[in-house]
């Protein structure tokens, strides 16, 4: 069964067909939720809520691509979670790194323990840097740079214009660059920033 | 970040993704040749993007497939499963609210019993709660009229003890304050009201001792029992789910 057939079946109340779609997209949805929320448990709750909302709203889905439609529900649910929790101001990156209790599950690549630890540290640094951004910048950077979606898809998912995507993305990237530059000693060697001779020219 | 270049971070960011037009592309590339600092900015921005794109992909900690209960609870329909009736969906939501309302009314009815405005059920001196402003005003007029009656009292006093006549007038005052209908009748012909008429009225019933519980309170109390039971059953069922 291809995706459109699964969607049509699910719209007629075929729950197993919908669950096929869930299995296809659950990792993507969870990744987006985790990167926006920064908490594995809340990300799992938000993902589950998103699929429940998607099932309920499926009768309003009139063709098109399922992936951006689903991701719109996921990002909106994450926004709701962020607002509902009224999160405390995020701690500094140093404080977050000291915690070291983030333990998300990565795709098993059959790597050794050293590589695993390196990937886990890299993930922590990236995640904690993303959490320094506001919710709108987070969503754009997660969709474009981490999930690799196009500007058009991102604009469609977030319901904003292309120009807004560009401006939010550039601000988010610049902010992340500043944060990561301050902590680049924590980055794996291949990800360290190029040596800057004219730093004063850049940061005036 | 502030910088002296004419090329903004937004343009540089779009340049990395090639999301700019031809004119902007030429402008950026020209500036990159002329400004080493701009080249440095581009490299650090590109390194940031590369780092983000290398972020490890995560595995969902569990499966998110929906159960029939979740699908039905979300208001969706499931083929082969009977849709819950309207009352089945709404009863669990409305019952706790209805219970709370009935409980509040019940407590209120105990604290302030709903009083009947029938005159023969009124206690002496009890203020009728349902009197309108108009009837209250008329009742006041009746009171003043009744207080003027001692002028006609001597005729009655021939056959009665003066003190008893006075006692008979007091209930008449409270009766007038109690009944709106009677107040209207009395106000139509206040001059014809005589001491004989006043004294011929039935003796007011004394108020029963102890707290009075109206039929409304009983009704609310009876209603509260099944509602509490329903709320309890619904709560237990939710916990089990």
pLDDT band at B173 (very low <50, low <70, confident <90, very high): very low
CB B64 within 8 A of CB A22: yes
Tell me the CATH architecture of domain A1-88: Orthogonal Bundle (1.10)
Q: Which pLDDT score, from 0 to 100, does residue A73 have?
A: 96
Size of interface A-B (CB pairs under 8 A): 169
To the nearest whole angstrom, how far is the Cα of A88 from the nearest Cα of chain B? Answer: 25
Residue B151: is its pLDDT beyond 50?
Answer: no
Among B15, B32, B67, B76, the residue to mutate for chain A (most A Cβ within 10 A):
B76
pLDDT at B219: 87
Query: What pLDDT was estimated at residue B189?
Result: 47
* Per-residue pLDDT, A140: 96
pLDDT per position as a tens digit, B223-236? 889 889 888 888 88
Phi, psi angle pair for B111, to nearest 5°: -70, -40
Summarize the confidence of residues A109-131 as an average pLDDT. Answer: 82
Q: Rounded to the nearest 10 degrees, what angle do helices B36-53 and A113-130 cross at?
A: 120
Q: Is B45 on the interface with A (CB under 8 A)?
A: yes
Which residue in A has a C-alpha nearest to residue B36's C-alpha?
Answer: A198
**Mean per-residue pLDDT for B104-118?**
72
Confirm if A144 and A160 have CB atoms less than 8 A apart: no
- Give the gap in angstroms from C-alpha B181 to the nearest C-alpha of chain A: 59
- Residues A6-22 have a mean pLDDT of 92
A13 contacts B76? CB cut-off 8 A: yes
ipTM: 0.81
By C-alpha distance, the chain A residue nearest B73 is: A52
pLDDT at B71: 85
- Residue with the larger pLDDT of the pair A182 and B140: A182
Q: What is the pTM (predicted TM-score) of this model?
A: 0.61
| A126–B41 CB contact, under 8 Å | no
Of B231, B210, B230, B216, the closest CA to residue B106 belongs to B216
Predicted confidence band at B179 (pLDDT cuts at 50, 70, 90)? very low
Out of A51, A191, A192, the one facing B66 most closely (by C-beta) is: A51
Is the separation of the CB atoms in B173 and B198 below 8 Å?
no
Evaluate if residue A133 carries a pLDDT over 90: yes
B145: pLDDT strictly greater than 70: no
Collect all residues of chain A within an 8 Å Cβ-Cβ radius of residue B74: 52-53, 55-56
Lowest mean pLDDT among A3-7, A64-68, B79-83, B212-216: B79-83
pLDDT at A196: 52
The answer to whether A1-88 and A90-204 have equal CATH topology is no
B50 CB near a chain A CB, below 8 Å? Answer: yes
Lookup result for tokens 């009736």: B85
Span A138-158, mean pLDDT?
95
Question: What is the distance in angstroms between the CA of the first residue and the CA of the last residue of chain A?
Answer: 58
Residue B112: band (very low, low, confident or very high) from pLDDT cuts 50, 70, 90: confident
- CB atoms A202 and B37 under 8 Å: yes
Percent of chain B with pLDDT over 70: 51
CATH architecture observed for domain A90-204: Orthogonal Bundle (1.10)
| A80 pLDDT higher than 80 | yes
CB contact residues (below 8 A), chain A span 74-93, against chain B = none
Q: Which residue of B has its CA nearest to A168?
A: B10
**CB pair distance less than 8 Å for B76 and A169:** no
Confidence of residue B66 (pLDDT cuts 50, 70, 90): very high
Q: In this predicted model, which residue has the larger pLDDT, B182 or B75?
A: B75
**Looking at the partner chain, which of B11, B60, B66 has a beta carbon nearest the beta carbon of A18?**
B66
Cβ of A176 and B55 within 8 Å?
Answer: no
Task: Tell me what percent of the residues of chain A surpass a pLDDT of 90.
Answer: 57
Report whether pLDDT(A185) > 80.
no
Query: Domain residue spans in chain A?
Result: 1-88, 90-204
Q: Is A90 helix (H, G, I), strand (E, B) or coil?
A: coil
The residue among B213 and B127 whose pLDDT is bigger is B213
Mean pLDDT of chain A: 84
pLDDT, position B82: 66
Confidence grade of residue B144 (pLDDT, cut at 50, 70, 90)? low
- Chain B: residue whose CA lies nearest to A34: B58
Between chains, do B50 and A191 touch, taking CB under 8 Å as contact?
yes
pLDDT at position B163 over 50: no
What sign has the CA pseudo-torsion A27, A32, A36, A42?
Answer: negative
Tokens 């926004």 map to which residue? A79
Mean confidence (pLDDT) of chain B = 70
Distance from C-alpha of A151 to C-alpha of A157, rounded to nearest angstrom = 10
Q: How confident is the model at residue A81 (pLDDT cuts 50, 70, 90)?
A: very high
What pLDDT does residue A150 have? 94
Q: What is the mean pLDDT of residues B42-46?
A: 91
């Amino acid at each position: 069964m291809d995706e459109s057939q699964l969607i049509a079946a699910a719209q007629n109340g075929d729950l197993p067909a919908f669950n096929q779609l869930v299995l296809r997209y659950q990792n993507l949805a969870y990744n987006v939720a985790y990167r926006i929320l920064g908490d594995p448990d809340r990300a799992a709750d938000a993902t589950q809520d998103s699929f429940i909302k998607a099932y309920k709203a499926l009768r309003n889905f009139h063709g098109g691509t399922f992936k951006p439609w689903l991701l719109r529900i996921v990002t909106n649910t994450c926004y709701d979670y962020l607002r509902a929790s009224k999160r405390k101001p995020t701690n500094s990156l140093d404080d977050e790194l000291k915690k070291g209790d983030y333990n998300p599950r990565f795709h098993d690549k059959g790597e050794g323990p050293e590589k695993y630890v390196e990937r886990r540290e890299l993930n922590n640094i990236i995640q904690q840097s993303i959490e320094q951004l506001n919710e709108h910048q987070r969503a754009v950077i997660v969709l474009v740079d981490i999930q690799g979606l196009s500007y058009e898809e991102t604009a469609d998912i977030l319901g904003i214009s292309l120009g807004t995507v560009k401006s939010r993305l550039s601000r988010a990237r610049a902010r992340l660059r500043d944060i990561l530059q301050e902590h680049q000693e924590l980055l794996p060697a291949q990800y360290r920033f190029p040596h800057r001779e004219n730093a004063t020219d850049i940061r005036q | 970040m502030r910088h002296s270049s004419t090329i903004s971070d937004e343009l540089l960011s779009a340049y990395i993704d090639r999301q700019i037009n031809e004119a902007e592309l030429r402008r950026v590339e020209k500036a990159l040749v002329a400004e080493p600092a701009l080249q440095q900015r581009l490299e650090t921005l590109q390194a940031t993007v590369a780092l983000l794109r290398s972020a490890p992909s995560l595995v969902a900690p569990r499966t998110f497939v929906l159960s029939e209960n979740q699908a039905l609870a979300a208001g969706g329909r499931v083929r082969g499963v009977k849709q819950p009736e309207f009352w089945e969906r709404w009863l669990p939501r409305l019952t706790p609210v209805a219970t709370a309302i009935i409980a509040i009314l019940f407590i209120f009815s105990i604290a302030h019993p709903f009083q009947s405005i029938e005159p023969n059920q009124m206690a002496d001196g009890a203020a009728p709660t349902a009197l309108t402003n108009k009837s209250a005003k008329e009742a006041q007029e009746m009171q003043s009229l009744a207080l003027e009656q001692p002028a006609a009292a001597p005729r009655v006093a021939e056959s009665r003890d003066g003190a008893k006549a006075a006692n008979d007038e007091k209930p008449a005052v409270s009766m007038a304050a109690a009944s709106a209908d009677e107040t209207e009748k009395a106000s139509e012909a206040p001059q014809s009201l005589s001491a004989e008429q006043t004294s011929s009225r039935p003796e007011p019933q004394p108020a029963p001792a102890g707290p009075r519980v109206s039929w409304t309170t009983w009704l609310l109390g009876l209603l509260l029992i099944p509602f509490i039971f329903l709320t309890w059953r619904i709560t237990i069922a939710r916990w089990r789910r």
